Amino acid sequence: MAPALLILLGATVILRADSLSDKKSLLLPPTNFTIKVTGLSQVLLRWESNPDQEPVNIELGYHVRINVPQEEDYETRNTESKRVTVLHKGFSASVQTVPWNGQPLPPSRWVSAELKAPPGSPGTSVVNLTCTTNTTVNNHTPLWPYQVSLHCSWLAGKDAPEDTQYFLYYRYGSWTEECQEYRRDTLNRNTACWFPKTFISSRGSEALAVHANGSSKHAPIKPFDQLFALHAIDRINPPVNVTAEIEGTCLSIQWEKPVSAFPIHCFEYEVKIYNTRKNYFQTEKLMTNAFISIIDDISKYSVQVRATVSSVCRQMGFWSEWSQPIYVGSDDQKPSTEWFLIVLMAAICFILLIFSFICKTGHLWTRLFPPVPAPKSSIQDFFVIVSSEKTVSTETEIEVISYVEDPGFETLEDSVF
Ligand SMILES: *[C@@H]1O[C@H](CO)[C@@H](O)[C@H](O)[C@H]1NC(C)=O
Ligand SMILES: *[C@@H]1O[C@H](CO)[C@@H](O)[C@H](O)[C@H]1NC(C)=O
Ligand SMILES: *[C@@H]1O[C@H](CO)[C@@H](O)[C@H](O)[C@H]1NC(C)=O
Ligand SMILES: *[C@@H]1O[C@H](CO)[C@@H](O)[C@H](O)[C@H]1NC(C)=O
Ligand SMILES: *[C@@H]1O[C@H](CO)[C@@H](O)[C@H](O)[C@H]1NC(C)=O
């Protein structure tokens, strides 16, 4: 009972102090509070310390409260503050003078300022705006080896007149660009945009601001803003130069980091090994650029690798696409032994053929140079015999060969033409 009473007492005391603070506070509110748009989705809040403020023996600061588009509270000792936020719903904020370092002095009154929401008919702004970024190698400027492209798409608002035309802009840091390459829907309205080259730094931590407005003869088109965190829209490229080889029972796989401004230690990988014979997948997560798997199965394997930027370097985003599959190993053992047998038979046949040919020429040889004839037969006779026999035997020889080879040539010609 007693603690509850004490809490109640405490609460009433605080309440009373609060209600009195307005009149009795020694602190005066800031003056000339202004809100200025300094870029797409970017405003600068500025105020001045009150010139009538009587000197107090404590340090002073400011309490800023953003009311629209999203409630946010923070304190600062500066007299200006930059905010990055969507502006299509307008913007409103208040600021008061407060004692710095938690001195027990009541804060000043609030002063407020606001930006009105830009005009436009409801239902005319773009909907389902999505953007993705992509890194490519920049061959033109060695100082800037990578370039980031941006692709955005959207749908026309459901109440947008048919003649509506939309325009898209992005801001990254202090750079703002309008889209130059639009894609259109059937009503000829822009519904997608491609920036092949942007000022976006893929390793930056700032948000990407995208603004889509439009025009129509029949209605004012409501603009639309959206902020994108880079890690959430960046499509990482797959790893490159993936190689795999089997040595004995080791399947060793290697690859290189994707085309990206992030250095080598920023990547995490996933390797997918597919055993085509057993229809079985093995996947491994790795921080290295190589992987060795022990295989006990003779099969054809397909190997793919994908990458993501690890949380070491930025907030986790998407995985890349898988790299193109590469194949290692042989499909199956049976067909290969069959092939081996076929090749072996062919080789044997070939050898036999050669052998028989050699034997025949051997015969010829012995016939050509028969054992030295008895000195009594005349030399002329011998030449006659040899020449007649020679012509006969070569003729038969040619006949045999042409008989064997002709069909071969025909089938070869058939298969070629
Ligand atoms: C507020 O701004 C106006 C003009 O911008 C200036 O004349 C005036 O002196 C400023 N007030 C204070 C208190 O600085
Ligand atoms: C657009 O977004 C809405 C909700 O955000 C969703 O219901 C709708 O399916 C989306 N339309 C298309 C075509 O993606
Ligand atoms: C990524 O870049 C390539 C060009 O190198 C492009 O064709 C592709 O559309 C881009 N992808 C995205 C999602 O922007
Ligand atoms: C769209 O926004 C851009 C950038 O703020 C501005 O320059 C342009 O005039 C606007 N166009 C329309 C039709 O509102
Ligand atoms: C991939 O390999 C080729 C040839 O070996 C090489 O020229 C290229 O630089 C490699 N790519 C990367 C990103 O290292």
CA–centroid distance, 229 to ligand 1, in Å, is 38
Digit-coded pLDDT (tens) for 183-214:
998 889 999 999 999 999 989 999 999 999 99
Residues 381 and 362 in one domain: no
d(CA 253, CA 272): 10
Q: Is residue 183 part of a domain?
A: yes
Residues 141 and 229 in one domain: yes
pLDDT greater than 50 at residue 57? yes
The pLDDT value recorded for residue 153 is 97
Q: Is residue 9 part of a domain?
A: no
CB count within 10 Å of CB 138 equals 14
Residues 79 and 102 in one domain: yes
- Tell me the pLDDT band of 385, cut-offs 50, 70 and 90: very low
Indicate which residue's Cα is closest to atom 9 of ligand 2: 128
Digit-coded pLDDT (tens) for 96-113:
999 988 778 899 999 999
Q: Is residue 15 part of a domain?
A: no
Residues 42 and 69 in one domain: yes
Q: Which domain holds residue 403?
A: 373-417
The pLDDT value recorded for residue 370 is 55
- Tell me the pLDDT band of 387, cut-offs 50, 70 and 90: very low
Domain CATH for 258 = 2.60.40.10
Digit-coded pLDDT (tens) for 389-414:
444 444 444 443 333 344 434 333 34
The pLDDT value recorded for residue 226 is 97
Q: Is residue 226 part of a domain?
A: yes
User: Strands 234-235 and 127-137: what pairing?
Assistant: parallel
Residues 162 and 196 in one domain: yes
Instruction: Report phi then psi at 305, rounded to 5.
Output: -135, 145
d(CA 46, CA 109): 17
Residues 312 and 386 in one domain: no
d(CA 161, CA 124): 8
CA–centroid distance, 128 to ligand 2, in Å, is 6
Q: Is residue 21 part of a domain?
A: no
pLDDT greater than 70 at residue 71? yes
The pLDDT value recorded for residue 58 is 85
Q: Is residue 13 part of a domain?
A: no
The pLDDT value recorded for residue 337 is 57
- Assess whether the C-beta atom of 361 lies below 6 angstroms from ligand 1: no
pLDDT greater than 50 at residue 19? no
Q: Is residue 194 part of a domain?
A: yes
Query: At which of 204, 233, 262 does a domain end?
Result: 233
Query: At which of 170, 205, 233 does a domain end?
Result: 233
CA–centroid distance, 134 to ligand 3, in Å, is 6
CA–centroid distance, 32 to ligand 1, in Å, is 6
Residues 246 and 218 in one domain: no
Q: Is residue 122 part of a domain?
A: no
Residues 327 and 338 in one domain: no
Residues 362 and 382 in one domain: no
Q: What is the mean pLDDT of residues 347-376?
A: 61
Report the b/e string of 119-135 with b at 16+ CB within 10 A: ebbeebbbeebebebbb
Digit-coded pLDDT (tens) for 225-274:
999 999 999 999 999 999 999 998 899 999 999 999 999 999 999 999 99
Residues 214 and 148 in one domain: yes
d(CA 279, CA 215): 56
The pLDDT value recorded for residue 163 is 92
Indicate which residue's Cα is closest to atom 8 of ligand 4: 213
The pLDDT value recorded for residue 407 is 40
Digit-coded pLDDT (tens) for 120-143:
999 999 999 999 999 999 888 878
Ligand nearest 167 Cα, by number? 4
Structural domain total, the chain: 5
- Assess whether the C-beta atom of 134 lies below 6 angstroms from ligand 3: yes
